[in-house]
Amino acid sequence: LAKTTQPISMDSYEGQEVNITCSHNNIATNDYITWYQQFPSQGPRFIIQGYKTKVTNEVASLFIPADRKSSTLSLPRVSLSDTAVYYCLVGERDDKIIFGKGTRLHILP
Amino acid sequence: DSGVTQTPKHLITATGQRVTLRCSPRSGDLSVYWYQQSLDQGLQFLIQYYNGEERAKGNILERFSAQQFPDLHSELNLSSLELGDSALYFCASAGHGTEAFFGQGTRLTVV
């Protein structure tokens, strides 16, 4: 499984756009990039998944450069309720899902 | 609501005891995953089942075992419990090629 590296923590303010970058230098050809969000004492929740270029859904965008060695999760206009831990995962679909330490995002008023 | 149901929500038991945690996956999902999350710790992958068969194993202790039944529900058995086993235990399910959906977890407290 490709190892991922992401910032341990980030602070931002309400209304700002937040970008969290994840590094995955040894990503394999069949690997997808997936992001999950977790609130305290709750199970993780899927945010977005992509393979290359850009993916957008109603909550976030995922930017993946051509070499796929990194990816950036973009959260538009964050609110206090976006305070959570965000996990970047890399792996094949249907494979075991391994979580790293994630990025603890703290949104300030 | 993720569609994944875990029971019980809370469990308090004594050291040395054995408990069973239950997970009902989303309808149609064949994969079930189990995770352990201790206080302020990351999600530790324990084991994955796919359509009744063990598919992948993580850092699961020998005192722990799991199975997935023909109706696809899964159970995680924890025996000879120690204080350090106190944690949130999450179950997740996934369909073929889909993202995983997590349950609300079972909070286990060993006293």
Q: Considering only CB atoms, which chain B residues are within 8 Å of A45?
A: 2, 102
Calpha distance B96→B103 (Å, rounded): 18
Q: pLDDT band at A93, cuts 50/70/90?
A: confident
Calpha distance B6→B62 (Å, rounded): 22
Kindly determine whether residue B105 and residue A101, on different chains, have CB atoms separated by under 8 Å: no
Angstroms from A87 CA to nearest CA on chain B: 10
Helix (H/G/I), strand (E/B), else coil: A78: coil
Instruction: Judge contact between A42 and A102, C-beta under 8 A.
Output: no
Instruction: Please indicate if any CB of chain B lies within 8 Å of the CB of A94.
Output: yes
Q: Which residue of B has its CA nearest to A93?
A: B97
Angstroms from B43 CA to nearest CA on chain A: 6
- Summary mean pLDDT of chain A: 94
pLDDT at residue B40 tops 90: no
pLDDT at residue A2 tops 80: no
Q: Output the pLDDT for position A14.
A: 97
From the list B45, B58, B104, which residue is nearest A42 (CB)?
A: B104
Average pLDDT over residues A59-81: 97
- Give the number of other CB atoms < 10 A from CB of residue A18: 20
Burial classification of residue B59, based on how many CB atoms lie within 10 Å of its CB (0-12 exposed, 13-18 middle, 19 or more buried): exposed
Calpha distance A48→B77 (Å, rounded): 32
Calpha distance B34→B4 (Å, rounded): 12
pLDDT at residue B54 tops 80: yes
Which chain B residues in 35-74 lie under 8 Å from chain A, judged by CB atoms? 35, 42-43, 45, 48, 50, 55-56, 58
Kindly determine whether residue B43 and residue A44, on different chains, have CB atoms separated by under 8 Å: yes
Q: What residue type is assigned to position A101 of the chain?
A: K
pLDDT at residue B20 tops 90: yes
pLDDT at residue B73 tops 90: yes
Candidates A96, A99, A101, A104, partner chain B, best to mutate (most B CBs within 10 A): A96
Pull the structure tokens for residue A64: 């993946």
Instruction: Judge contact between B101 and B91, C-beta under 8 A.
Output: no
Angstroms from B45 CA to nearest CA on chain A: 6
Q: Output the pLDDT for position B65.
A: 97
Q: Output the pLDDT for position B34.
A: 98
Q: Output the pLDDT for position A1.
A: 64
Closest CA to A43 of B67, B31, B3, B49: B3
Q: Output the pLDDT for position B85.
A: 96
Burial classification of residue B53, based on how many CB atoms lie within 10 Å of its CB (0-12 exposed, 13-18 middle, 19 or more buried): exposed
Q: Output the pLDDT for position A9.
A: 97
Calpha distance B47→B59 (Å, rounded): 8
Kindly determine whether residue A96 and residue B48, on different chains, have CB atoms separated by under 8 Å: yes
Calpha distance B92→B89 (Å, rounded): 10
Burial classification of residue A88, based on how many CB atoms lie within 10 Å of its CB (0-12 exposed, 13-18 middle, 19 or more buried): buried
- Summary mean pLDDT of chain B: 95
pLDDT at residue B48 tops 70: yes
* Helix/strand/coil (H/E/C) assignment for every residue in B37-100: ECCCCCEEEEEEEECCEEEEECCCCCCEEEEECCCCCEEEEECCCCHHHCEEEEEEEECCCCCC
pLDDT at residue A87 tops 90: yes
Q: Give residue-wise pLDDT tens across range A21-69.
A: 999 999 999 999 999 999 999 999 999 999 999 999 999 999 999 999 9
Q: Output the pLDDT for position A74.
A: 98
